[in-house]
Amino acid sequence: MPETHISLAHGNGGRFMRELIRDLFSRALGNPLLDTQADAAHIPIPSDAIVLMTTDGFTVQPLEFPGGNIGSLAIHGTVNDLAVSGADPWYITVSAIIEEGLAWATLERLVAAMAEASQAAGVVVVAGDTKVVPRGNGGGVYFTTTGIGLRPACVTLGLERVSAGDVLLVSGPIGDHGAAVLLARESFGLRGSLQSDAASVLPLTRAVRELSGLRWMRDPTRGGLATVAHELAEASRLTVRLQERDVPVRGSVRSLCEMLGYDPLYLACEGRVVAVVAPDQADEARRRWVAAGAVDAAIIGTLTSGRARCIIETRLGGERLLEELEDDPLPRIC
C-alpha cells in the first residue's frame, strides 16, 4: 500500500526511510553525484578555485504560498547567499526535518519545487538527510540547505571596499515575499495578485559582479531593506541615506502595510539584490539589471561620512532615523 503520510518510521534508518529517500527525494533530486548509499559525497573542485560556503535554515509558514514554497525557497535562499557573494553555486546539500503526519503529496510538491529551482540555478544536490519528529514537534517540515560556490578571481567584493560617496541600488520592489506570506497565513479575507518575489538572483549578480565599481551586494531577506541598510552602516561606519520616493514598493504591498501597520522597509524579499556601487557606475549597474529583466531596479540612496546610522528622506521632504528592527513583525517568514 502506498504511503499517504509521513510516519515516525520514515526517520528510523530502516526500510521506510530507505523507501522515502528512494521514492521521493532521489526520484526528484537524483543525479550522478548524489549517492544515497555513501556517508559523504565527492565534490570535484577545480584547482586554485575560490570556494565559498554558506548555510541557511527554512521554517516558513505556510509551507506553500503564492509564488513559491519552502522547497523552492530553501534552494533560492542558499543560491542567493552565494550569488550576492559574487559566486556561482556548484553544490548543495539538503537536510529535512519532517513532522510526523505531513502528507506525502505535500512533501512531493516541495521536493519537486526544490528540484526545479536547483536545476534552474545550475546547482547539484550532492547529499541529504531526513529526520522525522513526532507530531507537535515541528511545523510540517523544516529544511536546511548548505551551498558551495566558486567565485571567479576577477570578482572582488567586500565591505572594506565601501566608502563615502558610494551609491545604493535595489533590483526591484521590496516586501513582496513578506506581504505574500502574510496574506497566505492570515485570514484577512483579502484576495489579490500579490506573489512572493522568491527567485534566484544569479542572473542579477552575474550581470554586475565584474563591474570594477561594484563594492558589495546583499539580498534583503529577514528584516528587509532596513536591516541590510543597518548592517551596512554598522560595518562601514558610514551614514546610509535612503530616498523614500525612490524605493520601489508595489501599490498592493503599500496598501497592505498601511492597513495592517507594517513598514515595507522591514518586510522580507527573497529575490532582490541590494548593491553598493561607485557613483560613476551606478547608472551602468542599473542599466544592466534592467537588461537582465529587473525593470524596476532603482538607485535608492547614498553613503555619506558621519555616524553609523540610517536616515530616510521622506516624500514630504523631512527625514527620519530608520531604527534597527527589534520586535518581530513576522516570525517564520523564511
Stretch touching a second copy by CB under 8 A, among 137-145, 175-183, 185-193, 251-259: 137-145
Comparing CB distances to a second copy, the nearer of 39 and 317 is: 39
The binder of a second copy chosen from 153, 261, 321, 327 (CB under 8 A): 327
Comparing CB distances to a second copy, the nearer of 127 and 292 is: 127
CA atoms within 13 A on the CB side of 156: 6
Site for a second copy in 205-234 (CB under 8 A): 218-219, 221-224, 227, 230-231
Comparing CB distances to a second copy, the nearer of 91 and 289 is: 91
Reported in sequence order, the residue ranges of 237-304 that DSSP labels E, i.e. its strands, are 239-243, 274-277, 298-304
Q: Are 110 and 70 in contact (CB under 8 A)?
A: yes
The binder of a second copy chosen from 131, 161, 287, 309 (CB under 8 A): 131
Max CA pair span of the chain: 68
Comparing CB distances to a second copy, the nearer of 124 and 300 is: 124
The binder of a second copy chosen from 24, 67, 72, 85 (CB under 8 A): 85
214-218 and 319-321 strand pairing: unpaired
Q: How many residues bind a second copy (CB under 8 A)?
A: 83
Check residue 324 for interaction with a second copy (CB under 8 A).
yes
Q: How far is CA 331 from CA 92, 148, 160, 322, in A?
A: 26, 28, 32, 20
Q: How far is the CB of 128 from a second copy (least distance, A)?
A: 7
Site for a second copy in 140-179 (CB under 8 A): 142, 144, 146-149, 159
Comparing CB distances to a second copy, the nearer of 218 and 286 is: 218
Q: Please work out, in degrees rounded to the nearest 5, the angle formed at the alpha carbon of residue 200 by the alpha carbons of 198 and 201.
A: 105
Comparing CB distances to a second copy, the nearer of 71 and 138 is: 138
Query: How far does CA 44 lie from the centroid of its chain?
Result: 26
x/- track of binding to a second copy for residues 92-121 (CB under 8 A):
-xxxxx------------------------
Comparing CB distances to a second copy, the nearer of 26 and 144 is: 144
DSSP for residue 87 = P
Q: How far apart are CA 174 and CA 264, in angstroms?
A: 7
Q: How far apart are CA 231 and CA 237, in angstroms?
A: 10
Q: How many CB atoms lie within 10 A of CB 185?
A: 15
The binder of a second copy chosen from 112, 120, 133, 190 (CB under 8 A): 133
313: cell is: 528622506
Site for a second copy in 14-73 (CB under 8 A): 14-17, 37-45, 47-59
